[in-house]
A and B are shown apart, each in its own frame.
Chain A
Amino acid sequence: MSLSITLTLNGVTRAIAFEDARVTLLDLLRDRLDLPGTKKGCDRGQCGACTVLVNGRRTTACLTLAATLEGAEVTTIEGLAPEGTLHPVQQAFIDNDAFQCGYCTPGQIMSAVGLIAEGRAGTDPERIREGMSGNICRCAAYHGITLAVQQATRSMVHPDTAAKTGDAA
C-alpha cells in the first residue's frame, strides 16, 4: 500500500510518499529522508533517543506511525537552528558537558526544547530532572543535562540576565 502525506519538516512543507503503512516517523526520517540525527535507542518509547517535536511538542518518533502525520509540523535536531548557528539548548549542552558519547543527545536536546516550551519546570532542578526522565543517558550525563536545561531556560526566558552556567543541581 502506497501512502503520501504532506509534512512541514524542519520548516519546509513537502509531499512525502512511502510504501508501507508500517513505517514509523523514526524510520521515515532515518531510512527514507536521510535525516539520521534522530536516534534509535529502544524503538519502544522507553529511552527517548528518538524524541522530535511534532506540532511543537516533544514526542517519541518510534511510536508514531508516519501515516498519521498528514499536515503535521515536525522538527528534528537537524532543523532546530539555522545552519551554522546553535539553538540556546545546543549551546548549553556544550557549555555544561551535558553529553559524552552523544548518541542520546539529539533526543535529550529536543526533549529539553519541548520541556522548556511546556513551561512547567522553569529553572527548578528537581522539576527539570523529573521532566527529563524520559530520556535515558547511559553515559549518565544527567548532572550536566540538568545544568544545561537551567542555563538554556534562563537564556531563552531572560536572555539579558542569563548566566553562563546553571545553578548547582
Chain B
Amino acid sequence: MPEIAQPFRFGSNAGQPVTRRDGIAKVTGAAAFAADTAPAGLLHALCAPAAIARGRVTHLDIARAESHPGVVRVLTPANRPFLEGDPAEKPTMFSFRIEVLQDDSVRYAGQPIAMVLAETPEAAAEGVRLLNPQYAAETPRVTLDEEAAYPVEPGGFGRPAATLHGDIEAAHGAATRALDVTYTTAPQYHNAMETHAVVAEWTGDRLHLALPSQALAMSCAAYAWFFGIPVENVTLSSPYLGGGFGSKAIPTGPQVLAILAARVLGRPVKLMLPRAQMFGPTGHRGATRQRLRLGIDDDFALTALDHDSLSETSSFDDFHEPAANASQGLYAAQALRSTHRGVRLDVGTPGPMRAPGEASGSAALECAMDEMAEQAGLDPLAFRLLNYAETEPGTGRPYSSKALRDCYRLGAERFGWAHRPLTPRQMRDAEGMLVGWGMGTALFPAPMFQAQARATLNPDGTALVETAAADMGQGAWTALAQIAADALGLPLEKVTFHSGHSSLPDGGVAGGSGHTATAGGALHAAGTDVIRQLAEIATADPASPLHGAGNARVAARDGQLFLVDDETRAEAFEAILARHGGQSLTGGGSAARPPEDAQRHAMSSHGAVFAEVKVDPELCQVRVTRLVGAFAAGRIINPRLADSQLYGGMIWGIGMALHEEAHHDPRTGRVLNADLAGYHVPVNADVTGLEVLTVHEEDPHVNILGIKGVGEIGVTGTVGAIGNAIWHATGKRIRRFPIRIEDLLAE
C-alpha cells in the first residue's frame, strides 16, 4: 500500500528532505553563474538582432558603430572570421543548425546579424544601436497554415514517433458517442531568469568557457567541433545554471560567435543575451493545433482515440513538438492512433521546453477526455478510471510501475473532488465569483541517458565523488550527493561532491527528467565499486574482523563495513585503509538503460492534478485558487527538492493555461512582446493554495535506483485541469491555450 510523502530510507541519506547543499552559496550571492566571472582584459559582446523574420540585410553602418568610443570590433558576414565547423551541419545528435553570420540572409526575427565587441557593456549596446540595419524584407510566415502541412516524425523522448493500433476510422465511426475537437496551444519561450551567457577565454588553442550547460560533455564536443580543436582542449565550467528548461543543452549562434571573437581578438569575451534576444536563437515551444477524435461504446469504454498534432518548425531545421505522444500510453483505447504534421515558419528552430510534447499534448487530451465525460454524463475522474490502462495500450507491455490509481484517489480525497457538481456554473464564492473544479491526468516518460562517475574514499573516512552533472535548479548538487553517500555507506556530510565542470567524468544530459536517475546511477555504481574494493581488502586482511567473509556478505553503513548476517563483525573504513598503506581507493561507474529493459516495460511517471479556479462572472478574469497534484514517480531521493520541482511544474501549467503566448507582428514577423512585461509568466500572486502529494513506487525495472524523475511531469495534467475547471466554472469550453479574458467574454 503506497503512502503519502513518507521519507523513504534508502541507506541513510536518500529519502531525506535535506536542504540544498548549495543553499548558502545561493542565498548569499556567492554562487557564481557564468556571467559573474570577469577575467582581466574582458571585452563585452552583444549581437545585433534582425528586426525582420525573412529577407536580407542590405546595409549596416559599421563605420558609425566602430567610431563609437569603446567599440573594438564589429563582426558581420563580410568579415566574420573562419569557423571550422559548418553551421549548416550538426556537431551532435541533439544540436540544431545555428546562425553565425554565415551570410546576409535573415531566417527569423532576433537572429544575430552582427556582433559588436566593446570595452564596456554601455559601448557595446550603443554600437549595436548605431549599426542601424537596413533590410530587403519578404513577407514572413508566422502562423500555422493547414495548407502547407506535411507529415513529420518528431523524435520522441522515450516514445515512438507515431502509433497505430486497430482500425481507428471504423472504431470512431461505430462509436456510441463520438467527439471531434481541435485544440490549439501558443508559441512559448523558456525565459530562464539567467539569459544565455558565455565568458570565453583562449590560451593558444585551448578554450576555457564559463557557460551554463545542461549537457557539459556534449557541449564541449560541439564547441571543439566548431573550432576545430581536440575535445580535451575545451574546459567548460557550469556549476550553476540560472534555469534551463531545455534551452541550455546545445550551442547557440550568439555563444559560438562570442567564442570566435575571443579567439580572433586575443582577449576574453563575455556575452550575456539581452532578454529580448531570448525570443529567437535559443529555442522555444512551437505552437500546435491538435485534433482529437474520441469514441466510446455503451459501457463508456474508449473505442477510439485519434490524436493528430500540427506544429511548427523553422525554415532550416526540424523540431516538432511531439504533442500527440501524450495519447500513446495513457488510456485503454481499443483503437489508438497518434500522428504528427508540420509546417515551416520563419521562426527560430523550436526545441525541447519543459515536458516537450506531453505539456501541449496532455493539455488537449485531458480537455478532450473531459468533453467526452461530459457527453457521457459521467464524472471526469470516473470516466478516466473506466478507461484505466492496466498495460500499455496497443502493445500490451506491462508498466514498470504505475501507481496512478493511488494518485487519483489520494488527490481526489485531498481536493474534496467527491463534492463536485456534475454540471457547470453550480458553485460561487462569498463574493459571487464563479467557481469551477477540473482535473487532468499527468504523465511523463522516464528515460535514461548515459553517464560516468568516479568515487574516491580517503584514508580519513571521507570521500570525494565526481561527475560533470548539471544543476539548473532541480537540486543535483544535493540529490546526487545523497545517492553517492548511500552507495559509499557514509553520512552525507562526509561526502564532497565535485560537479559542473567538464574535467570531471561525463555526467550526461540534464533533460528528459532523467538526470537524477542517470548521473545518480553512475555515482551509485562508482560508490559501489569502491565498497567492493574495500571489502576485498578487508576480507583478505587477517587483522580485520571481516577476514574470511565472502564479499557478497559485506555491506557498508555509517562509515563501516559489516557482515550482513552478523553486524557485530564490523570495521571502520579508516581502520581498513590505515592497514593498507593509508592509500585512498578510487572506483568508477557508469549508468545507462540496457535496450532490452527499455523494450520489456513501459516506463512513465504518472499523476493526477485537481484544479479550482475562480472567474469573475462579468469581467472574466481567472485566478487559479487551488491546485492539488498527486504524483507517482518511482523513488523520491529528496522529498523537499522533489516537491519544489513538482510545484514549479504545476505553476508552469498555470502559465501555459492562462498567460504564456508570444505574439508575432504580422508584417515583420518579430515577436512583439519579447520582454517580461509583455510575455507574461506567472508571478507570485498567481500562486495560491498549492499542494503536492507523492505516492511512493517501488520500481525494480526502471533503473537500479528506482527513480523515474519529477522535473517535467508537473506541467502535464495541470493545463488541462485548469481548462476543465474554467469550463466547470463558466460552462464555456475554450479550445485554445492560453485561455484569455476575451475568450470567456465572448457571448
Seen from chain A, the residues whose Cβ lies within 8 Å of a Cβ on chain B are 19-20, 22-23, 27, 30-31, 34-44, 46-47, 49, 76-78, 80-81, 86, 90-91, 93-95, 97, 99-106, 109, 125-126, 128-130, 132-146, 169
Q: Are A102 and B240 in contact (CB under 8 A)?
A: yes
Q: How far is the CA of A36 from the CA of B126 in the complex (A)?
A: 23
Kindly list chain B residues whose C-beta atoms are within 8 Å of the C-beta of A144. Answer: 644, 647
B63 interfacial contact with A, CB 8 Å:
no
Q: How far is the CA of A105 from the CA of B471 in the complex (A)?
A: 15
Kindly list chain B residues whose C-beta atoms are within 8 Å of the C-beta of A100. Answer: 243, 473-475, 644-645, 648
Q: Which of these binds chain A: B33-41, B379-387, B423-431, B515-523?
A: B33-41
- Asked, given contacts A43-B275, A136-B683, A146-B684, whether A86 binds B24 with beta carbons under 8 Å apart, the answer is yes
**Contacts A103-B192, A138-B192 known; 17 new A-B pairs at CB < 8 A:** A20-B122, A35-B29, A36-B36, A39-B242, A42-B275, A47-B193, A78-B29, A97-B643, A99-B473, A101-B242, A102-B242, A103-B242, A106-B27, A136-B683, A140-B647, A140-B682, A143-B690
Q: Are B473 and A101 in contact (CB under 8 A)?
A: yes
**One of B193, B475, B684 near A49 (C-beta < 8 A):** B193
Closest residue on chain B to residue A27 by CB atoms: B121
Kindly list chain B residues whose C-beta atoms are within 8 Å of the C-beta of A136. Answer: 193, 676, 681, 683
Q: Are A27 and B27 in contact (CB under 8 A)?
A: no
Closest residue on chain B to residue A21 by CB atoms: B122
Q: Are B275 and A41 in contact (CB under 8 A)?
A: yes
Q: How far is the CA of A132 from the CA of B686 in the complex (A)?
A: 11
Rounded to whole Å, the gap between the CB of A59 and the closest CB of chain B is 17
Within 8 A of A (CB), among B43-68: none
Q: How far is the CA of A129 from the CA of B688 in the complex (A)?
A: 8
Q: How far is the CA of A160 from the CA of B176 in the complex (A)?
A: 67
Between A and B, 20 residue pairs with Cβ closer than 8 Å are A23-B122, A30-B36, A31-B121, A36-B36, A44-B275, A46-B675, A80-B28, A86-B24, A99-B26, A101-B243, A101-B244, A101-B472, A102-B22, A102-B31, A103-B192, A105-B26, A129-B684, A130-B685, A138-B245, A142-B682
Q: Are A101 and B644 in contact (CB under 8 A)?
A: no
Binary CB contact string for chain B from 628 to 668 against chain A (1 if under 8 A, 0 otherwise):
00000000000011011101100110000000000000000
Interface of B is mostly: loop
Q: Are B240 and A101 in contact (CB under 8 A)?
A: yes
B170 interfacial contact with A, CB 8 Å:
no
Closest residue on chain A to residue B278 by CB atoms: A42
Q: Which of A49, A76, A136, A169 gathers the greatest number of chain B CB atoms within 10 Å?
A: A136
Binary CB contact string for chain B from 236 to 279 against chain A (1 if under 8 A, 0 otherwise):
00001111110000000000000000000000000010110000
Kindly list chain A residues whose C-beta atoms are within 8 Å of the C-beta of B25. Answer: 102
Q: How far is the CA of A78 from the CA of B32 in the complex (A)?
A: 12
- Asked, given contacts A97-B640, A136-B193, A169-B688, whether A141 binds B240 with beta carbons under 8 Å apart, the answer is no
Q: Which of B19, B32, B687 gathers the greatest number of chain A CB atoms within 10 Å?
A: B687
B30 interfacial contact with A, CB 8 Å:
yes
Closest residue on chain B to residue A140 by CB atoms: B651
Q: Are A86 and B36 in contact (CB under 8 A)?
A: no
Kindly list chain A residues whose C-beta atoms are within 8 Å of the C-beta of B194. Answer: 39, 41, 101, 103
Kindly list chain A residues whose C-beta atoms are within 8 Å of the C-beta of B418. Answer: none
Rounded to whole Å, the gap between the CB of B486 and the closest CB of chain A is 21
Q: How far is the CA of A126 from the CA of B640 in the complex (A)?
A: 23
Seen from chain B, the residues whose Cβ lies within 8 Å of a Cβ on chain A are 19-20, 22-33, 35-36, 38, 120-122, 126, 190-195, 240-245, 272, 274-275, 471-475, 640-641, 643-645, 647-648, 651-652, 675-677, 681-688, 690
Closest residue on chain B to residue A41 by CB atoms: B193
Q: Are A94 and B687 in contact (CB under 8 A)?
A: no
Kindly list chain B residues whose C-beta atoms are within 8 Å of the C-beta of A41. Answer: 193-195, 275, 676
Kindly list chain A residues whose C-beta atoms are within 8 Å of the C-beta of B36. Answer: 30, 36-37
Q: Which of B30, B647, B652 gathers the greatest number of chain A CB atoms within 10 Å?
A: B647
**Nearest 6 CB-CB pairings of A with B:** A37-B29, A103-B242, A100-B473, A101-B473, A102-B26, A140-B651
- Asked, given contacts A44-B675, A97-B20, A103-B193, whether A140 binds B27 with beta carbons under 8 Å apart, the answer is no
Closest residue on chain B to residue A106 by CB atoms: B29
Q: How far is the CA of A37 from the CA of B26 in the complex (A)?
A: 9
- Asked, given contacts A36-B32, A41-B194, A101-B473, whether A135 binds B684 with beta carbons under 8 Å apart, the answer is yes
Q: How far is the CA of A108 from the CA of B651 in the complex (A)?
A: 18
Rounded to whole Å, the gap between the CB of B367 and the closest CB of chain A is 22
Q: Are A140 and B676 in contact (CB under 8 A)?
A: no
Q: How far is the CA of A128 from the CA of B474 in the complex (A)?
A: 25
Rounded to whole Å, the gap between the CB of A2 and the closest CB of chain B is 13
Closest residue on chain B to residue A169 by CB atoms: B688
Closest residue on chain A to residue B191 by CB atoms: A138
**One of A19, A81, A133 near B683 (C-beta < 8 A):** A133
Q: Are A138 and B681 in contact (CB under 8 A)?
A: yes
Q: Are B27 and A43 in contact (CB under 8 A)?
A: no
**One of A19, A40, A91, A99 near B35 (C-beta < 8 A):** A40
Kindly list chain A residues whose C-beta atoms are within 8 Å of the C-beta of B32. Answer: 36
Kindly list chain A residues whose C-beta atoms are within 8 Å of the C-beta of B240. Answer: 101-103
Q: How far is the CA of A126 from the CA of B688 in the complex (A)?
A: 8
Q: How far is the CA of A162 from the CA of B246 in the complex (A)?
A: 40
**One of B38, B120, B244, B685 near A20 (C-beta < 8 A):** B120
Q: Which of B35, B38, B644 gathers the greatest number of chain A CB atoms within 10 Å?
A: B644
**One of A34, A90, A133, A134 near B27 (C-beta < 8 A):** A90
Q: How far is the CA of A121 from the CA of B702 in the complex (A)?
A: 47
Q: How far is the CA of A77 from the CA of B688 in the complex (A)?
A: 27
Rounded to whole Å, the gap between the CB of A91 and the closest CB of chain B is 8
Kindly list chain A residues whose C-beta atoms are within 8 Å of the C-beta of B33. Answer: 36, 39, 103
Rounded to whole Å, the gap between the CB of A139 and the closest CB of chain B is 5
Q: How far is the CA of A41 from the CA of B275 in the complex (A)?
A: 7
Closest residue on chain A to residue B654 by CB atoms: A140
Q: How far is the CA of A41 from the CA of B120 in the complex (A)?
A: 18
**One of B30, B121, B687 near A37 (C-beta < 8 A):** B30
Closest residue on chain A to residue B119 by CB atoms: A19
Q: Are A78 and B27 in contact (CB under 8 A)?
A: no
Kindly list chain A residues whose C-beta atoms are within 8 Å of the C-beta of B645. Answer: 100
**One of B272, B472, B640, B676 near A40 (C-beta < 8 A):** B272
Rounded to whole Å, the gap between the CB of A156 and the closest CB of chain B is 16
Rounded to whole Å, the gap between the CB of A26 and the closest CB of chain B is 10
Q: How far is the CA of A157 from the CA of B600 in the complex (A)?
A: 59
Q: Are A94 and B676 in contact (CB under 8 A)?
A: no
Rounded to whole Å, the gap between the CB of B522 and the closest CB of chain A is 23
Rounded to whole Å, the gap between the CB of B530 and the closest CB of chain A is 31
Rounded to whole Å, the gap between the CB of A7 and the closest CB of chain B is 18
Rounded to whole Å, the gap between the CB of A123 and the closest CB of chain B is 15
Kindly list chain B residues whose C-beta atoms are within 8 Å of the C-beta of A138. Answer: 190-193, 243, 245, 681
Kindly list chain B residues whose C-beta atoms are within 8 Å of the C-beta of A78. Answer: 28-29
Closest residue on chain B to residue A131 by CB atoms: B684
Q: Are A142 and B243 in contact (CB under 8 A)?
A: no
Q: Which of B24, B240, B676, B677 gathers the greatest number of chain A CB atoms within 10 Å?
A: B676
Kindly list chain B residues whose C-beta atoms are within 8 Å of the C-beta of A145. Answer: 684
Q: Are A129 and B122 in contact (CB under 8 A)?
A: no
